[in-house]
Structure 1
């Protein structure tokens, strides 16, 4: 009988330890968000001009990402995606080349400092999504810039002005070992206004 009680006690302790480990893992994973998708499509190009041929091709896009809270003041993310490493504006790749394997690259990889004590401040570095308002004339929608960005943003409770933001960016465009490097430095000032049911930025 003593052996049975000892076995039951050890089993109960083991179960409690297992539950603690599971709870700790759930608590850790609960700080992160996972997402991903796979998309297939066909494309047809019909040509009527002399010397040009009709084209038919299959395209695939595969993406997987994770982002979340690294600490009380830091968040970060890592996104992997298919696509040509020589084209930063698309994650699609063509099904061709005798069933060859396809390239997976880092689409985003960043860390953002957003302190609880100063929520109006946000500092980001790495390869990240736009931290400023983008226009089609300046940047492609599928591009993830690289470098650093600083943002100051304040919310207001006034009848019209709801938010004012200042954003600076230092983008590392091209590093050259034997020559001058290429940079893109800029800034943006924006405000969110509300007039009745209408909101504009």
Structure 2
């Protein structure tokens, strides 16, 4: 800038000089024009110098900017390198086995209202029973550990009822005078997925129920115990058949050779064609030696689940009970998945029949028909679920299926809506409308103990689930 001011002063002095000379010595117009042309040339020359200086200034600014940018990039690289070194030093302090462990869990807070309930009287009439308002909590913690590329171990600890420790619930009710709530081991199992045969899975322990099913067969909270083997053929792109076998230990008896057990065989396929994915499976359930179960055979578990029982000793009306029939169940289950516009849609159908020849007609069949719209993965997602179910009295083990629906000898509807308020916060509400298929036998050995309370019921649940 100083140089520019000097050049401007020089121009001014030149103009003054020539103007003075013209005032005293110019004698005609030609001389005046010559001097003006000379002055114009000087001005143009000085303007070129000024432009050159301006360009030098712009080049200097550009150079300074590039230097600052390069310095900033070098500083950022140095900071990142330092952070990587600090992360490495920190990771070296953490035991390596923690890298193979994954922790997750959830917390569910639920309000549940039971209303419009009725019960049966000894002479066969019905009477209304008081409603019920319950506030309940469920807390679950999952631990998944990778042993190798083929082996893994899994645990789940969770709330449950303190008194009964029921397999069909993970709820704790707000009750018992502020007493602490119990935590129990709900899952503990190991899984082997060999590289030499893709699609094979062998699991042993107390595990998540991986068999295709609906809640007319299993309550969602039941975690079987034993071993299962599953293989799905991976050689075809769109058609993948599978076989799923299970050997479950229901109850081990000391000094007995006939432990209570469950054997499951399931065959099916997943078939993708066009916009559809169709899953179809057939299953056989063989409940063995139910008389040697710990709680089931005495109708002490979930009030017997609505099944038919007989006295083990007819002369002792207060003695042990046994199931009146065997439970050899055939099941056909199917899911059809597609998109209804942009909405994920699933149609569901499940049919079960108890093939024990002693089971009377109209007591041996269960069915489920329903659908689900939407999904629940991220904030803003929603889903709507509906089912109709009809479960005859001895179609399934009533103590092991959905206990919000009330076991066997039951029919009715369920509607459920869920909405993701945040990626890890879900709101849900569900409504049940259920009735017994047939009136309970007032002369049965379980009527006064359990059955008389299983009349019409309506149930409303509202909940929030926090995931981490």
Identify unmatched segments of 5+ residues in structure 2.
Answer: 1-84, 119-126, 280-468
Pairwise CA RMSD: 2.5
- Equivalent of 1:143, from 222, 245, 249? 222
Q: Secondary structure at the match of 1:96?
A: coil
- Equivalent of 2:178, from 99, 111, 124? 99
Q: Secondary structure at the match of 1:115?
A: coil
Using the alignment, how far apart are the partners of 1:112 and 1:24 within structure 2? 30
Using the alignment, how far apart are the partners of 2:155 and 2:197 within structure 1? 25
What is the match of residue 109 of structure 2?
Answer: 40
Highest CA radius of gyration, 1 or 2?
2
Using the alignment, how far apart are the partners of 1:166 and 1:24 within structure 2? 45
Name the structure where helix makes up a greater proportion of residues: 2
**Deviation for aligned residue 1:185:** 1.0
Name the structure where strand makes up a greater proportion of residues: 1
How high is the TM-score relative to the length of structure 1?
0.80
Identify unmatched segments of 5+ residues in structure 1.
Answer: 1-15
**Deviation for aligned residue 1:36:** 1.1
Q: Secondary structure at the match of 1:71?
A: coil
Where do 1:11-160 residues align within 5 Å?
Answer: 19-20=88-89, 22-23=91-92, 25=94, 28-46=97-115, 52-84=129-161, 86-158=165-237, 160=238
Work out whether residues 198 and 234 of structure 2, in 8 Å CA contact, stay in contact via their aligned partners in 1: no
Using the alignment, how far apart are the partners of 2:135 and 2:214 within structure 1? 30
Q: Secondary structure at the match of 1:110?
A: strand
- Equivalent of 2:269, from 186, 191, 201? 191
**Deviation for aligned residue 1:18:** 9.1
Q: Secondary structure at the match of 1:58?
A: strand
Of stretches 23-32 and 186-195 in structure 1, the one that deviates more from structure 2 is 23-32
Using the alignment, how far apart are the partners of 1:149 and 1:104 within structure 2? 26
**Deviation for aligned residue 1:23:** 4.2
Number of residue pairs aligned between Structure 1 and Structure 2 = 184
